Structure formats: structure tokens, C-alpha cells
Chains A and B, each alone.
Chain A
Amino acid sequence: MSTQEFTLVDLKRILLEGAGADEGVDLDSDTALTTDFVSLGYDSLALLETGGRIEREYGVSLDEEIFANGLTPNGLLTAVNASIQEAAVA
């Protein structure tokens, strides 16, 4: 069976729905993708809300530890896609 991929477009949409748009942050830039979320202005609650929305939409369970320190948009994309793969194999 084919598995869904979690793309930057999906991440941007979920961030917008859950945490709102930050007029000062452009996630399309390469630097933003490798900058941690806290520096981008997303606090722990914003990440909790984002994680919750990803989990219920993609039917995955994300390890809470990935949100602990220095998570970047790229890091989150990788982690979510790994979880999607795991769920597909299981």
C-alpha cells in the first residue's frame, strides 16, 4: 500500500491552523528549515498543538522527546515521515 508523505506544504498548513501565522517567519527559506522552532517563535504549546494535529491527521504517534530540544522544521518532517513508515510496516 502507498504511504502518505508529510511535506513542507502539510507542515505549513498545520502550523497555520494550529498555531496561527507568524507574519515575520518565512518557512520557505532554507535557514528557517534548519532553525529550531523556539527561535522561529513557536513555543512548547504551539508545538504540542502542532504535534497533536499531525498525530490525529496522519494516524501516527510521535515520540514526545522529539519536541524536547532544538527541534527544527526539517527535523519534524523527518520524524513524522519515519513514523508514517513505521505505521505502514506495522
Chain B
Amino acid sequence: MNARVVITGIGLATPHGLGLDDYWSATRVGKNAIGRVTRFDASRYPAKLAGEIQDFTARDHLPGRLIPQTDRMTQLALVAADHAFADAGVEPGTMPEFDMGVVTASTSGGFEFGQNELKKLWSQGSHYVSAYQSFAWFYAVNSGQISIRNGMRGYSGVVVSDQAGGLDAIAQARRQIRKGTKLICSGGFDASVCPWGWVAQLTSDRLSTSERPERAYLPFDAEARGYVPGEGGALLILEDADAARERGADSIYGEIAGYGATFDPKPGSGREPGLRRAIEQALADAGVGPADIDVVFADAAGTPELDRTEADALVAVFGVRGVPVTAPKTMTGRLYSGAAPVDVVAAVLCMREGLIPPTTNVTLSPEYEIDLVTGQPRAAATRAALVIARGYGGFNSAVVVRAAG
């Protein structure tokens, strides 16, 4: 049976800060969080801007024993998981351990940790490499560490499909909850603002080389020139709706109502990209039509070709300017596997408040026939949102989030 799967807890760390209040109070008004890279000297790299999380000290939030064995992205994820459980009113230690699982997404793994240890390997020798290098930089490490810290031994895993992974993980969590796991912590985190991570990201040729924070990441703008990378992500507590009600969950943010995923045809094949089909699959899975969607949180790649593909898919499904579209990630940069879970959070908060957060800095190019919410937030009664995420290499995913109640 297709049980309803709902969001009962949220934890996030974004360039707007830690936690829900910091995120939403900044996002709803379109506050910029992009600036010059401060975590390393980026002056000699082509891309010099990032959305960084300021003032995060892992020791203030986590036991000392976890510090030497974790990358920054894992430290952020562990803190977000704590916040998500607290928000859901669940003490993981009091639930049967096989009833709880963790499914996260990852784009880079623990690059900063890996960089430091590889540096020791080449400069000092193998005896100086941390034993924790054996897992600290793996894609799966966030799922593993969250599982260990919270005693969660039910279905767990990791999804690696770049930015689309943030939605793919949530969909995988939903699938497993429908198969009987009572609760799954799901979402994604990346934090690779370090030289090695930076060089890896630059290989895509999609990073903006602008040095002006307000002109660097401009999806759907005639001056679109790539994106600014950011660090962070979100973790959601997902539960079977009935189980959540039975345990008396304090707050139900919304329902993961539909999901679709496709893979693009081979470049140069002349065939239509897969995004439209992913959106249509997600709508069909949710049992809704285009007219039922009140707002779209776009992938907003920020390069002309990819923006064109997304605008075409939106117009094909929803019609010309058929639905409000927004991209609050213009404030933080793209968070890789963390981006879409953060957008899911933005979607439920948008529906709760009746306010669509703006796409900042962008002047919509007349060539895109979409209703992009730019400049100011827009008041709108919203009951269902579509979140889109695409991953490097051809991944397209879409999720329909429905308001609670």
C-alpha cells in the first residue's frame, strides 16, 4: 500500500546559519549569504565566491570523540540530525533501533578531511595518515555516523547523483517507510570549500567567475554565467503519517506526495532532455495535475543552456507563466546534495506562511516564459509545491510536497 509519508522534523545548516529560524527569517526576505571565500585563499582560483556557513564550531555541538574522525560536512549533518530529532519530538534512544533508518545523499564526500590526510601522506608518509581516513571521506559516512550516534539500525543507505540526490534520497526514504520502517532521517549535506574540493568543482566549467556576490549567480537572467557553490544542507525526519499521529507528533510540516526521476539522453542525440518527464512522473505519482501545483522551486542551474532546458520543461508542463517559480538558492549558492532538501524545507515553510521567497539579484530574461518571483517575496496561498533538482551528468528529479492537513 502507498502509505502517506510526512515530514515531522527539520534540521538544517545553510549559509544563513544553523536551524530553521535563521534560515527562514533570511530566506523569506531575500537576504544574500554569498561572499568571498574565507575558508582558504581562493585569490588564485578562477572562482572566488561561495556561500559559506560562518561561525560554526563543531566542538560547541558535538562530543569531543567525534571531532577527529569527521569531516566538516559530517559535523554539520550530525548537528542537523540532532536538531531534526528535537524538532520532531523524538528521542532516538527510546525507539526500537530497527524501526529507524538513515538515507542521505552526497555529492563530494568529505573532501576537506581527505585533502588533509592525503597531504600528510605525500609530505610526511603513510604513518601520519589518520586511521579515520578509512571512512571519513566516504559518500556514505554521514548516514553511518548519524546511524551510530542515534542508534538507528533500520534500512539505511546513501544516494550519489549530485544535486538530484537530495530528492532521490528522500524518495528512497519514502519507499522504505512504505515497506515498514517507521522513521527515516533523510536529506543531504555537502561542504567542500577547500582547495581540493574547489579544483574538483571547477572541472564542470559551470562555476561563476564573477567576483561580485550580487552578479555571480543569476539563473534565468540574460547575464547567467554559472553558479556559486555553497555549503550545508538539511535533514528531515520522515514518518508514516499514521505512525506519526499515533505517537502524537507535535508538528507535521507536509507530505512527500510524489516523486519522479529520469536520466538525460546522450548529449548530441537530439532527443528531449529528461526533466519534463521527471516532473510529469512526480505529478502523476502525487495524483495531481499541473493546475494543482501552486509554486515551483527550480533547480536554477545558472548556465544558459541548462536554464533553457528547465524553462522549456516548466512551460511544457504548466504552460506559459502558468505557475510561480522561485529559486531561493540564489541567496546561498548551490549546496549540491544539500540543495534540494533545503528547498523542500523552503517549500513547506512557504506553504505554512503563504509567502513565496524571492529569487534574488535576477532580472528575468524575456526569452524564458516563466513566472519567476524576483526581487520581493510574493504572498500566495500555496497548498502544493514542486521541487526540482538536477545532478551533473544527466540526473533529473522532482518531488511534490503537499501542505499538512
Closest to A18 in B: B68
List, in ascending order, chain A residues with CB within 8 A of B68's CB: 17-20, 49
A52/B65 in contact, CB under 8 A: no
B132/A49 in contact, CB under 8 A: yes
A22/B65 in contact, CB under 8 A: yes
Interface centre among A16, A18, A19, A56 (most CB of B within 10 A): A19
Does A41 touch B at the CB level, under 8 Å? yes
Q: List 23 A-B contacts (CB under 8 A).
A: A16-B64, A17-B68, A18-B130, A19-B68, A20-B64, A20-B65, A20-B66, A20-B68, A21-B65, A22-B64, A22-B65, A23-B64, A45-B69, A45-B134, A46-B65, A48-B131, A49-B68, A49-B130, A49-B131, A49-B132, A52-B127, A52-B131, A55-B127
Interface size on A, residues (CB 8 A): 16
List, in ascending order, chain A residues with CB within 8 A of B65's CB: 19-22, 41, 46
The dominant DSSP class at the A interface is helix
A23/B131 in contact, CB under 8 A: no
List, in ascending order, chain B residues with CB within 8 A of A19's CB: 65, 68-69
A45 to B68, CA, bound (A): 12
Question: Residues of A with Cβ closer than 8 Å to B?
Answer: 16-23, 41, 45-46, 48-49, 52, 55-56
A21/B127 in contact, CB under 8 A: no
List, in ascending order, chain A residues with CB within 8 A of B66's CB: 20
Contact for B69 among A17, A20, A22, A55, CB less than 8 A? A20
Interface centre among B67, B68, B131, B132 (most CB of A within 10 A): B131
Does B63 touch A at the CB level, under 8 Å? yes
A23 to B65, CA, bound (A): 8
Given contacts A20-B63, A48-B131, 10 further A-B contacts (CB under 8 A): A19-B65, A19-B68, A19-B69, A20-B68, A22-B65, A23-B64, A45-B131, A45-B134, A49-B130, A56-B128
Closest to B127 in A: A56
Chain B: interface size category: 10 to 19
Contact for B67 among A20, A48, A56, CB less than 8 A? A20
Q: Distance (Å) between the CB of A55 and the closest chain B CB?
A: 7
Q: Distance (Å) between the CB of B66 and the closest chain A CB?
A: 7
A48 to B127, CA, bound (A): 11
A46 to B131, CA, bound (A): 8
Q: Distance (Å) between the CB of B69 and the closest chain A CB?
A: 7
List, in ascending order, chain B residues with CB within 8 A of A20's CB: 63-69
B132/A45 in contact, CB under 8 A: yes
List, in ascending order, chain A residues with CB within 8 A of B69's CB: 19-20, 45
Q: Which 7 A-B pairs have the closest CB atoms?
A: A21-B64, A49-B131, A48-B131, A20-B65, A20-B64, A20-B68, A56-B127
A52 to B131, CA, bound (A): 8
Closest to B63 in A: A23
List, in ascending order, chain B residues with CB within 8 A of A55's CB: 127
A45 to B132, CA, bound (A): 7
A22 to B134, CA, bound (A): 21
Q: In residues 30-58 of chain B, which contact A (Cβ within 8 Å)?
A: none
List, in ascending order, chain A residues with CB within 8 A of B134's CB: 45
Closest to A47 in B: B131
Q: Distance (Å) between the CB of B157 and the closest chain A CB?
A: 22
A32 to B378, CA, bound (A): 61
Q: Distance (Å) between the CB of A32 and the closest chain B CB?
A: 15
List, in ascending order, chain A residues with CB within 8 A of B132's CB: 45, 49
List, in ascending order, chain A residues with CB within 8 A of B131's CB: 18, 45-46, 48-49, 52
A22 to B68, CA, bound (A): 12
Cβ contacts B59-79/A at 8 Å (1 or 0 each): 000011111110000000000
A17 to B68, CA, bound (A): 8
A45 to B130, CA, bound (A): 10
Closest to B66 in A: A20
